[in-house]
């Protein structure tokens, strides 16, 4: 096997495809490079066919932290479970690959994508689809390739559309559109936008389709080089599940019965009727036939249900629940559904019901991300849960599956463009959407329910967002676009096209398409119907809660933002964090201090206000003329030290503690006394001199009788002359010591 490399430039970026050097024992392997970012994708197909009635495809995206020169965190210091971004990338690779394999393919296929280098300039996700396509083609695997995936951005200043933008270019874009497919049709789409119009989105999609075709053409050039170096690619032969005519004829003889069983608006009732009919049809086969043809019987029963549903729509214009193609299911909308929580909303459309709950927290509670992308984390978080009881089934409860992560990410992208900035609303925001009942479009119900919860929590959204899922049926040469699809129409239809947005434009989209005839006209019609459906749903939502509540609820923390001098941060924190811990323990508030002096204080009730006042007091510098009621904290012979603010003392000189001469400060004040004082002076070193207001009269000296003694004459002690034996220190020596201390304090 000879190593082959094909280098090319497209849309201002440099790429290369390489095969024949790494992972040569895999069915196929390819390394794709964009800029300095490089990813290896391998594909392995099992030699034996599996006894399944579905296509067993597994796609894994394994983030390697060495690709960005980092050692993984945690005790083990090795890569653990995939990050959310890794899971979303694996889904992005899977979605265009899965429908490209032939019907009846039952050999297990595993595709593994490993980024070898992530240069923090060019993302590695979209090029994985091209690498998987090349690996499968070189491995001789039958599928409808080549495939490619591109990301389209739009420069907000020039309006220019960009293909596979750098991270910096994405940051300057109001559109993030990912498309995958062949040179002739789109099979997967993921998008987020800053309220982008339908017309602009269609233009970007058409531009993206052209770019996909260009990348597919470069793959063809690569394959030609491969053939020249290594000889023709030998297609491998895999046994496919083929229709059994005898089984098909017997099963499809019950076509009318299946059509009748499907006409039921209630999902559980319809499911029961269809299951009973399938059991009855199975019973018409002998025991030996059921054992021999078990897989074929299951495949034909599924095919019967699919064709009966589809023909009902295209031939009669009526859906299984009796709706017209554009009709929206009945709505039930209840904001403020739960007590005590920060915000909640119940949204129900037909038999799909979602309860969304909003929680507000400090900015330091943002989610930190440990991925190979240059993203530290996020402050708006959306989680989506799909428990088994929502479909009337039993199942394991545990970590979210790929589908749950994907649906949660879609709802998060839908609302992110309308979330206020942290300057406007300094909170970390988490919304959890619990699917209580599901019959299709639960991700769109999550978007609507989350809008209700955010508005109920008092989050000042720039605009409310609603969402709807569109479907497509192409049968017997006829095409019908369906609004607000339910589970059966998603499972047996040709397209699942989810669109979210405000009245001004689209904020997010997601599409999985099985139909090769998805024309621009069909997409235009789908977006038009989606806009009408979104408007209908949004009107009902705004009737229940017209605007975000003014202010957060009492149960939510109120966040106060202060700015303190940087040189005062250590005073607020205190030695070993003693001061800030004391404030938090005393008030119950939570305090977060940034390096630039920004202070975020969160507390329920008045806790935040109390903590804020204490911090303001710590950093405040008293000014001349200000009056305080302070507490005496220390007494010296020359005066008393009065605490004006926490950590801020001033000297009340002995001459100012009372009216008249005071012999000892203790004659007037004691430690703990409260006195009303005024700031006289603050020197350049920050030392504060005080004057006492409302001074009391100075106490009379104990040894002075003011001429009104007992009338007895007292003898005077004789004076001693200097040098006399037994000379004692002067009686005023302590006063000299006090003067020294006073001079030391005053300067």
Binding-site residues: 490, 496
Q: How far apart are CA 625 and CA 17, in angstroms?
A: 77
Structure tokens at 54: 């579905």
Residue 548 CB contacts under 8 Å (≥ 6 apart), including other chains: 454, 455, 458, 459, 460, 461
Buried/exposed code over 561-585 (b: 16+ C-beta within 10 A; e: otherwise): ebebeeebbebbbbeeeebbeebbe
- Classify strands 4-10 and 13-19 as parallel, antiparallel or unpaired: antiparallel
Give, in order, the Cα–Cα distances in Å from 312 to each of 231, 251, 369, 455, 486.
50, 18, 48, 41, 15
Q: How far apart are CA 226 and CA 124, in angstroms?
A: 24
β-pair partners for 690: 652, 679
Give, in order, the Cα–Cα distances in Å from 475 to each of 242, 308, 361, 530.
21, 11, 51, 22
Q: Which of 487, 417, 426 is nearest to 447 (CA)?
A: 417
Kindly give the residue spans of alpha helices, DSSP state H, lying in 399-483. Answer: 402-415, 442-456
Q: How far apart are CA 459 and CA 357, in angstroms?
A: 13
DSSP class of 122: S
Question: What's the Rg (C-alpha) of the chain?
Answer: 39
**What is the DSSP secondary-structure string of 531-598?**
HHHHHHHHHHHHHH--S--SS--TTSPEEEEEE--GGGHHHHH-GGGHHHHHHHHHH--EEEE-TTSE
Residue 132 CB contacts under 8 Å (≥ 6 apart), including other chains: 30, 41, 43, 59, 93, 97, 111, 113, 147
Count CB-CB contacts under 10 A for residue 179: 25
Are 615 and 580 in contact by the 8 Å Cβ rule? The answer is no
Are 485 and 470 in contact by the 8 Å Cβ rule? The answer is yes
Asked whether the bond before 146 is cis by omega within 30 degrees of 0, the reply is: yes
Q: How far apart are CA 408 and CA 354, in angstroms?
A: 12
Q: How far apart are CA 616 and CA 630, in angstroms?
A: 16
Give, in order, the Cα–Cα distances in Å from 275 to each of 156, 295, 302, 322.
53, 16, 11, 20
Q: How far apart are CA 507 and CA 178, in angstroms?
A: 14
114: helix, coil or strand?
strand
**Between 294-316 and 267-283, two packed helices, what is the crossing angle to 10 degrees?**
130
Q: How far apart are CA 304 and CA 310, in angstroms?
A: 10
Helix (H) or strand (E) holding 612: helix 607-619
Q: How many CA atoms lie within 13 A of 602 on its CB side?
A: 17
Binding residues for Mg(2+): 490, 496
Residue 78, classified by CB atoms within 10 Å of its CB into exposed (0-12), middle (13-18) or buried (19+), is exposed
Q: How far apart are CA 463 and CA 692, in angstroms?
A: 58
Residue 510 CB contacts under 8 Å (≥ 6 apart), including other chains: 189, 190, 191, 410, 443, 496, 497, 498
Q: Which of 411, 434, 435 is nearest to 357 (CA)?
A: 434
């Amino acid at each position: 096997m000879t190593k082959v490399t094909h280098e090319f430039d497209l849309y201002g970026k440099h790429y290369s495809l390489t095969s024949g050097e790494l992972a040569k024992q895999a069915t196929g392997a390819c390394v794709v490079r964009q800029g300095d970012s490089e990813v290896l994708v391998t594909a392995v197909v099992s030699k034996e066919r599996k006894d399944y009635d579905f296509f067993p495809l597994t796609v894994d995206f394994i983030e390697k932290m060495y690709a960005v020169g980092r050692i993984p965190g945690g005790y083990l210091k090795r890569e653990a479970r995939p990050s959310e971004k890794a899971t979303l990338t694996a889904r992005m690779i899977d979605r265009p690959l899965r429908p490209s394999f032939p019907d009846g393919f039952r050999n297990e296929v595993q595709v593994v994508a490993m980024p070898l280098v992530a240069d923090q300039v060019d993302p590695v996700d979209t090029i994985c689809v091209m690498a998987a396509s090349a690996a499968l083609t070189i491995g001789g695997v039958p599928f409808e390739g080549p495939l490619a995936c591109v990301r389209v951005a739009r420069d907000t200043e020039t309006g220019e559309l960009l293909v596979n933008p750098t991270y910096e270019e994405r940051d300057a874009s109001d559109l993030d559109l990912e498309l995958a497919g062949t040179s002739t049709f789109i099979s997967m789409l993921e998008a987020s936008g800053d309220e982008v119009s339908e017309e602009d989105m269609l233009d970007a999609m058409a531009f993206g389709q052209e770019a996909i075709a260009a990348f597919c053409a470069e793959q063809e050039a690569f394959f030609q080089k491969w053939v020249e170096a290594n000889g023709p690619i030998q297609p491998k032969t895999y046994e496919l599940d083929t229709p059994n005519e005898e089984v098909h004829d017997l099963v499809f003889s019950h076509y009318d019965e299946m059509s009748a069983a499907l006409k039921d608006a209630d999902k559980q009732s319809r499911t029961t009727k269809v299951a009973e009919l399938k059991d009855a049809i199975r019973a018409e086969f002998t025991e030996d036939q059921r054992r021999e043809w078990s897989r074929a019987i299951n495949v034909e029963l599924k095919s019967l249900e699919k064709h009966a549903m589809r023909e009902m729509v295209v031939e009669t214009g009526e859906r299984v629940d009796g709706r017209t193609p554009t009709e929206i299911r009945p709505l039930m909308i209840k904001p403020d559904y739960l007590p005590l929580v920060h915000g909640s909303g119940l949204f129900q459309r037909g038999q799909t019901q979602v309860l969304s709950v909003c929680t507000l927290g400090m900015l330091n509670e943002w989610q930190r991300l440990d991925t190979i992308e240059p993203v530290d984390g996020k402050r708006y978080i959306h989680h989506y849960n799909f428990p088994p009881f929502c479909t009337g089934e039993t199942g394991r409860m545990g970590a979210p599956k790929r589908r749950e992560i994907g649906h949660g990410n879609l709802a998060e992208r839908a609302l992110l463009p309308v979330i206020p900035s942290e300057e406007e609303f300094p909170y970390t925001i988490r919304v959890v959407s619990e699917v209580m009942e599901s019959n299709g479009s639960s991700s769109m119900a999550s978007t609507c329910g989350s809008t209700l919860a955010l508005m109920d929590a008092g989050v000042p959204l720039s605009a409310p967002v609603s969402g709807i899922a569109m479907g497509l049926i192409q049968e017997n040469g006829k095409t019908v676009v369906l609004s607000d699809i339910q589970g059966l129409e998603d499972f047996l239809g040709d397209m699942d096209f989810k669109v979210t947005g405000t009245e001004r434009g689209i904020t997010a989209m997601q599409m999985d398409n099985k139909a090769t005839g998805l024309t621009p006209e069909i997409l235009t019609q789908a977006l038009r119907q989606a806009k009408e459906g979104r408007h209908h749903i949004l009107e009902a939502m705004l009737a229940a809660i017209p605007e975000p509540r003014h202010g957060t609820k009492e149960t939510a923390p109120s966040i106060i933002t202060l700015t303190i001098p940087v040189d005062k941060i250590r005073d607020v924190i205190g030695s070993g964090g003693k001061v800030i811990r004391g404030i938090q323990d005393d008030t119950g508030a939570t305090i977060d201090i940034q390096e630039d002096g920004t202070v975020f204080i969160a507390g329920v009730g008045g806790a935040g206000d109390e903590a804020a006042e204490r911090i303001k007091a710590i950093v405040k510098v008293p000014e001349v003329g200000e009056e305080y009621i302070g507490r005496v904290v220390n007494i010296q012979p020359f005066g008393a030290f009065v605490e004006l603010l926490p950590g801020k003392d001033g000297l009340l000189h002995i001459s100012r503690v009372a009216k008249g001469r005071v012999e000892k400060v203790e004659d007037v004040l004691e430690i703990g006394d409260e006195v009303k004082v005024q700031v006289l002076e603050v020197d350049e070193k920050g030392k504060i001199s005080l004057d006492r207001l409302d001074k009391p009269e100075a106490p009379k000296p104990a040894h002075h009788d003011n001429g009104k003694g007992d009338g007895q004459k007292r003898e005077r002690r004789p004076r001693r002359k200097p040098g006399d034996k037994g000379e004692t220190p002067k009686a005023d020596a302590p006063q000299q010591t006090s003067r020294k201390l006073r001079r030391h304090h005053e300067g």
